[in-house]
Amino acid sequence: MDQKERDAVDELPRNSPLDLGGEVREQRRVFDERQADHSFALIPLDQPVQACACAAHQGIRPHTGHTASHAAAPAGCTGGDVHAGHPGRCGRSDAGNERGARRRGGVRDEAVRRVTAAGRRGPRLRWRPLQGNLIDRRGAALVPPILLAAGLNVAAVAGLAYIAGFRAVYTSLVRIQWPWLCAVPAALAISAAGYYLAYRGIYAADGGYHLSRRQLTAVVAAGFEGLFSTGGIRPDGLVLQASGASRREAMVRVTTLAGMEQGILALYGCAASIAWLSLDLPGVPLDFTLPWAVIPLPAFAAAFWLASRYRARLHGQAGWPARLSVFLDAVLLIRALFARPVRYRGAIGGMALFWAGDALAVWSALAASGLVMSGATLIVGYCTGMVVSRRTAPLAGAGTLALILPLTIWASGAPLATAITGVAAYRLLCFWLPMPSALASLPVLRQTTSQAATTRQAMPASATDQR
């Protein structure tokens, strides 16, 4: 019994019109002494109980139904009357007043109603923010996040244009060459095709799961847009659970996909930086190229070694070791992919094609603004700015990529106004062109989510909550 219920019970004798004098006070003292050994049974609302003066002689705490077995019932009161809360009239003369009984019953019913209502309400819930996963929203509820993402992109471009000068940005904007700009959608289509191959290869690798074409297309459409797959368990994880994967296995596959994104991107940056340093070309600062040339390969080797050494120690634990165990399993799965590049060429080649198509889209947008960059120069700046990708950044990188990517490309030797215009055109097309297919995929994802929820409810808790 919590403090609120105890206070409500303690107020009952004082609010009751029946004055039992010293007997009530004595019973209150007995109740306080034996509180740890007694239990309470609140009378349901559909069984109103009339107060009886013999409650004091029976060891009943008034209006609670609490009985003590050491006291004997007075004449006219049976054991069934005591334990049932006296549904009938008691034999004592002062209990014959029906008007007083109704009044006392009303007070008791109201007190019990207050206590039980407080128990039903439970603890007061704090405000919870909206979930990051937006696939459950429908119709007009999808408009606010879309407008918020668009507004963040506009705000980032406007802020950079203020720094570079609105006149310089306007001059670069009016010189856009439309043939190059029309090549951006084609490059994004190549990138989406690579994403599809990467999804299918990673989820089926090492005895994994084969999604239906309808589910896989919906997951790729939502993931490529990025806006509807942020936060919590992602839609692709729900699809994997609907295909038979446990929650933990789904988290491992989803983490593997994110790790493959960053891993292939790091390999691109490493290769471009080594080529740039080998050719000894000017333009890109050394603090951009040297980390990409030195860090990725030793970091991969260290991650693979640590995962194979400590993964078994963390498996089966709860809390943060469980989350770290999922990450280490994903690292080992990535190692298995790179260990057999021919067998898993779909996963590796698909992710490489995804980044190549996306980088080609940025290069085409910059060329449309009048700047034709060399491949190595662009890739160094592009990989540096894409460390926060559409998949990992909130709202598909809305505002973040439009702010960081022009600066990293500018640091690689591009004029700032041209970098702002080119990246703004790339982000505009990259955000709005996949939007119709992503919205069309939401009904499929919602249906798959409900199937996954039904599957989890049908399975034992030990099978669904494996960590």
Neighbours of 157 (CB within 10 A): 21
Query: Using one digit for the tens of pLDDT, what is the confidence trace for 202-221?
Result: 999 988 888 888 889 998 99
CA 349 to chain centre: 30
Indicate if the pLDDT at residue 444 is higher than 80: yes
How does residue 201 score in pLDDT terms, banded at 50, 70 and 90? very high
**Exposure b/e, 234-247, CB count within 10 A at least 16 = b:** bbbbbbbbbbebbb
User: Do 422 and 408 contact (CB within 8 A), yes or no?
Assistant: no
User: Do 220 and 195 contact (CB within 8 A), yes or no?
Assistant: yes
Percent of the chain at pLDDT above 90? 40
In this predicted structure, what is the pLDDT of residue 85? 45
Indicate if the pLDDT at residue 389 is higher than 50: yes
The pTM for the full model equals: 0.69
| 326 or 458: which leads in pLDDT | 326
* Those residues with Cβ within 8 angstroms of residue 184's Cβ, 6 or more apart along the chain or in another chain: 361, 364, 365, 368, 425, 426, 429
Indicate if the pLDDT at residue 125 is higher than 90: no
* Those residues with Cβ within 8 angstroms of residue 272's Cβ, 6 or more apart along the chain or in another chain: 292, 375, 376, 379, 380, 383
User: Do 53 and 77 contact (CB within 8 A), yes or no?
Assistant: no
Query: Using one digit for the tens of pLDDT, what is the confidence trace for 54-93?
Result: 444 444 444 444 444 444 444 444 444 444 444 444 444 4
Indicate if the pLDDT at residue 170 is higher than 90: yes
* Nearest to 68, CA basis, from 76, 57, 59, 77: 59
Indicate if the pLDDT at residue 251 is higher than 70: yes
- Mean pLDDT, the chain, rounded, equals 76
Backbone angles phi, psi at 61, to 5 degrees: -70, 120
Indicate if the pLDDT at residue 148 is higher than 50: yes
Lowest mean pLDDT segment, chosen from 156-160, 244-248, 306-310, 463-467:
463-467
Q: What region does 67 belong to: left with phi over 0, alpha with psi -120 to 50, or beta?
A: beta
Q: What contacts 24+ positions apart, CB below 8 Å, involve 206-214? A: 206/333, 206/336, 208/253, 209/240, 209/243, 209/244, 209/245, 209/253, 210/243, 211/239, 211/240, 211/243, 214/444
| 216 or 312: which leads in pLDDT | 216
How does residue 126 score in pLDDT terms, banded at 50, 70 and 90? very low
In this predicted structure, what is the pLDDT of residue 242? 81
How does residue 388 score in pLDDT terms, banded at 50, 70 and 90? confident
Furthest CA-CA distance within the chain: 111
